[in-house]
Structure 1
Amino acid sequence: MGYDDLKVLVRADASVDIGMGHRVRCQALIHAFKALGWQCQFVVQRRYDAFASPEDEFIETESEFWQLAEQVDLVILDHYGYSADDIATLYEHQENLLVLDDMNDRGDFPAKWLLNPLHQTYSKSIKFPLTGSQYALLRPVFLQQNNLAVTPEKLLITLGGTDPLALTLPILKALLTSGFPAKYIQILLGASAKKADRVLSFCEENNIYVEQGLSDVTPLMKQAKMAISAAGGTLFELACLGVPTVFAQVADNQTCSLEQHVPLGWCRSVRFDNVSEEARRHRIEQLIEELNGRWLDLEWQKKARKTAQGLVDGAGAERVAKAIDAYFS
C-alpha cells in the first residue's frame, strides 16, 4: 500500500494538434495512483491552458518543470516534444521517472520505468520496462464492463478527441452515399472536435444519432457491432470491449500500434495523415469499402471480437501504479 506523502507530477500537454490522448491516459494513471494514496498533480505548458484544468500547475519554461521535478517522488512524462536529450536532462533532475512511449523512435534515453502498450525492445538505460497490451492505460470504467447482454448492431464512428483532420463529416457522407443505413450509425465527437458544428447539423438533418464530449463512452462502444475510429488510445478501449474496427490513421504516432494489431486480425486500417487532402477522398472510399466488406461477415466479427478481448483487460493503469508503488514500499 502507498504512503500519503508520496507525490507524483504528470507532464502531458493537450491541444488540437497534439490531441487529447496523452492527457486521457495519464488521467487513468492518476486515478490508479490516487487509489494507492499518492498525491498527483498535472503540469502543463501555459500555452496549452485551453485544454487544461484549473487545478493544473502551469509553467512557462522547461527549467520551471525541472525545479518542480526535484521536489516530488516521481515524474510521469507523456510528451512527444521531449527528445532523448531532453529526457536525459529531466532524468538528471529526477531519477524516479516514468516515460510513456508509443513509437520507440527517440533513440536511447534513461528512465527508471518505461511504459509502452506495444511489444518493443528498449536499451539497458531503462531499468524497468513495462511493455505490452497488459499495460494499456484505460479509464477505470473499462474495468467494470461485463460480457455483452445484448447483440450489438450499431456502427460507431469516433475520430478522437479533436478529429485533427476533420474526417468525421466526409466519412459520414461517403457512408450514406454507399447505401449504409443511417439508423445503424452512432457518432461520437470529442469535446474539441474540428468542424463539430457541421457534423451536428448534418446528423440532425439525416436523423443520425450523435453525442459530443461524453465522459463515459462505454455505453456507445458496447452497442457497437463495428467501429470506424482513430487509432490512438481508443484502439485499446475498442479492443477491451471487443469491437472489430476499421481504423483511420490520423497521426504518425499511431503507426506502430496498427503494425502490431492489424496482423492479429481483429481490425483493419487506412492511413490519412501522410497524404494530401485530395488523396484523402480516395482513402475515404477505401475505408468505406473495407467497412462494408466486413459489416455482414459475422464469422469474421466473431473471431475478431474474441481476439480483441484477449489482448486488453482494462487493468493496465492499476498494474503500472502497483508496480511503481511496490518499488517505493
Structure 2
Amino acid sequence: MMVLVRADASVEIGMGHRVRCQALMSAFEKQGWQCQFVVQRQCKAFANEADLIIDHESAFFSMAKQVDLVILDHYAYQAQDIAELYQHQPNLLVLDDMNDRGTFPAKWLLNPLQEDYSKQIQRPLIGSQYTLLRDEFIHAVKSPSADKLLITMGGTDPLGLTLPIVEHLMAAGFAAQNIVVLMGANAKQAKQVRQLCLQHGISFHQGLREVSVVMKDAKLAISAAGSTLYELACLGVPAIFAQIADNQTRSLEQHLPLNWCRSIRFDHLSKDQLSTQISQLVVMALEAWENSDWLEKASLTAQHLVDGKGAERVVAEVMRHD
C-alpha cells in the first residue's frame, strides 16, 4: 500500500505541517505502508532527499492516481483545489485546522479541534484524540521536579522572537539557570541566540530529534502556538503562547477557555510594535511563573487533553474503511 503526503515547509510556512505528517507517516509505516512526501521545488531546502519534488500541482495530481491513499496538509489548497484532487484520488485524507476553506469532498478529514463539516466529508476524524504527535510523546512524562522556563518558537521562528524574549528575561532579572531554549534546525537568528545563551550560561538546544527530553523538565513554556501547543499539552506543561500565524487562531480559541494556557498575538504587528508586545509577553510569563496554584491546575488540565496516540487511531480508522 502506497501513501503520498502533500505538505510543504519553509521559514514562512513553518515546520508544523511536515512534523505532524511525519508522525502520521510513521504510524502507517508500522503497518507496512510505503509513504512519500511530495514537495514544491521552492520548499526543497526543507525537504529530505527521498521526497518527490514537483514544479506544478498537476504533477502531484498525476501521481495521486497511482497510489492507494493521499494525505493533504496544505493551506494553499482551497475547496476547488481539494475537489479536483479528490477526482484523481477519492481515498483522500485532508488535515485541517481552521475550517475556513469552504465545502469540499474527502473520504477522511482530520481536525483535532471541535469543528463541523459538510456531508461531503465521509468520515470526519474530529477531536483531540486524533492529535498527531511523534512516538516520543506516547511514553514521555513530565518530570516531577520540573523547574525550567522553556523558550521555543517552533521549527523556524519566522518572526525572530526567541532572541528578544531571552534578552527581555535577562533584563527582568530572571535566573539564567532556570531558562532552557529550544530551536529548530532552520530557526531564524539561531547563531545569535546561541551566543547570547553561552554568554549568560543558559541551556541551549537546536535541531533535536526528540524534543520531549527537554520539554519534560519545563515548569512553564513560552511557545509559538502551532503544533508545539499539543506537545506541551501532552506533557502537561502550562504555556504562554505567542500567536505568530492566522492558522493558530482556532486552536487558541478552544484551548484558552480551559485555562491551562494564555496567549498574546504577534502576527499582525509592525516591527515597532514587537518590542512592546514582547515586554507584555515576558510580564505575563513572570506572573504565571510565580502562580504555583495556577501552574498545578493548568498542568493537570493539559495532561488530560492529548495522549500522544492520535496517529495510531487515524491509521486504524483509515485501514478499517479503506
Instruction: Give the deviation of 1:26 after TM superposition.
Output: 0.2
Judge conservation of contact 2:143–2:216 (CA < 8 Å) in 1.
no
| Counterpart for residue 72 of structure 1 | 67
Alignment of 1:89-104 (within 5 A): 89-104=84-99
Structure 1, unpaired ranges of 5+? 1-5
Alignment of 1:1-329 (within 5 A): 6-146=1-141, 148-328=142-322
CA deviations on 1:109-165 (whole Å, 9 max, x unpaired) are 11110001111111111111111111110000101224x453100000000000000
Instruction: Give the deviation of 1:307 after TM superposition.
Output: 0.5
CA deviations on 1:198-228 (whole Å, 9 max, x unpaired) are 1111111111110110010011111000000
* Counterparts of 1:327 and 1:305, CA distance in 2: 36
Instruction: Give the deviation of 1:267 after TM superposition.
Output: 0.2
Runs of 4+ residues deviating >3 angstroms: none
- Which is further off, 273-282 or 15-24? 273-282
Compute the TM-score of the two structures, normalised by the length of structure 2: 0.99
CA deviations on 1:247-282 (whole Å, 9 max, x unpaired) are 001111101101100110000000000111111111
Structure 2: which amino acid aligns with 1:291? A
Instruction: Give the deviation of 1:285 after TM superposition.
Output: 1.1
CA deviations on 1:276-309 (whole Å, 9 max, x unpaired) are 1111111111111111111011111111001000
* Counterparts of 2:119 and 2:14, CA distance in 1: 31
Judge conservation of contact 2:143–2:217 (CA < 8 Å) in 1.
no
Structure 2, unpaired ranges of 5+? none
Q: Name the SS for the 1:8 alignment partner.
A: strand
Identity %: 60
Structure 2: which amino acid aligns with 1:216? E
Compute the TM-score of the two structures, normalised by the length of structure 1: 0.96
* Counterparts of 2:237 and 2:143, CA distance in 1: 14
Structure 2: which amino acid aligns with 1:81? A
Q: Name the SS for the 2:138 alignment partner.
A: helix
* Counterparts of 2:140 and 2:154, CA distance in 1: 21
Structure 1: which amino acid aligns with 2:95? L
| Counterpart for residue 3 of structure 1 | none
Structure 2: which amino acid aligns with 1:238? L
Structure 2: which amino acid aligns with 1:20? M
Q: Provide closer, same or farther for how the CA distance between residues 107 and 117 of structure 1 changes in structure 2, counting only shifts above 3 A.
A: same
Structure 2: which amino acid aligns with 1:308? A
* Counterparts of 1:165 and 1:100, CA distance in 2: 25
Q: Name the SS for the 1:188 alignment partner.
A: strand
